[in-house]
Structure 1
Amino acid sequence: MAFVGRWETETQEGYDEFCKKIGIPDDIIEKGRDYKLITEVTQDGDDFSCTHIYPTDARVTNNFTLGKECDMQTIGGKKFKATVNMEGGKLIMCSPNYNQVSEISGGKLIEIITFGSVVLKRTSKRI
């Protein structure tokens, strides 16, 4: 239940390169660079819902059950299949080209998202 709540982005590393790699237009990248992304996480047993609220008020919600393959969507609208597992207190999502490791460290939500060879690291505070 450590992930449950609302989180607001504090820092991002690799944002521009990551967004370009997943096909986000330059004008949207510019708008989002300093935007405080809101992430809302709910949990019911092994079932999770994660909603990202973006600068254009766009929302992307991914629902998943630990250990089961599910349909996911990136900020750029690309759909893919992935499986999320909980390992050592970390949520680990694996798919062929898009992977994410999320953990709570020092009261912060740390997300490391990899698409091909590009990495985005996002740190968020609880709000």
Structure 2
Amino acid sequence: MAQFTGTWQIDNSTGFDDYMKAIGVPDDRRQQAMQTLGDSSKMTYKISNDGDNWTFGVTTSAGSRDIKFTLGTEIDTTTLDGRPLKALYTLDGNNLTEKQTGPDFESVNVRTVDGDTMTMVMTGNGVSCTRKYKKI
């Protein structure tokens, strides 16, 4: 869906540290994640698609990487802290949903767009956080 494409920069979040604890991110990696992925990090997503084929270009102060996927097809990938997982992306109405399944966690991340704001609600092992991004 066209509203997701573009470049999005982190603006603010609530409950991110609690969410990371719930999905098993170790203490030392959570501290690093807050610096590279937190509200003041200037982390960006560059989202593009060609039909059902999508690319998320993630850029942080620690580097960048592309996540490529086809809607409805499970992929093998890793968390940003390097843990292996399977991810499945689907479009449901105005929601772009990502289901992540790792060795010790499951997370459902739902992205929605309203104007120049993308909201991502991440729910892992029963704990949710909300992250908001501004289109740049």
3-state SS, counterpart of residue 75 of structure 1:
coil
Q: Which amino acid aligns with 1:8?
A: Q
Matching of residues 108-127 of structure 1 within 5 Å: 108-127=117-136
Correspondent of 2:29 among 22, 25, 29: 25
Structure 1 contact 14–119 (Cα < 8 Å) conserved? yes
Q: How many residues align?
A: 126
Change over 3 Å in CA distance of 1:64–1:26 after alignment to 2: closer
Structure 2 contact 29–81 (Cα < 8 Å) conserved? no
Change over 3 Å in CA distance of 1:26–1:99 after alignment to 2: closer
Unaligned runs of 5+ in 2: none
Cα distance, 1:100 vs. partner? 0.9
Structure 2 contact 3–113 (Cα < 8 Å) conserved? yes
- Give TM-score scaled by structure 2 length: 0.80
- Give aligned-pair identity as a percent: 23
| Structure holding more helix per residue | 2
Change over 3 Å in CA distance of 1:22–1:47 after alignment to 2: same
List 4+ stretches of structure 1 deviating above 3 A.
none
3-state SS, counterpart of residue 123 of structure 2:
strand
Unaligned runs of 5+ in 1: none
Matching of residues 1-127 of structure 1 within 5 Å: 1-20=2-21, 21-23=24-26, 25-32=29-36, 33=38, 34-56=40-62, 58-96=63-101, 97-127=106-136
C-alpha RMSD over aligned residues: 1.9
Structure 1 contact 85–93 (Cα < 8 Å) conserved? yes
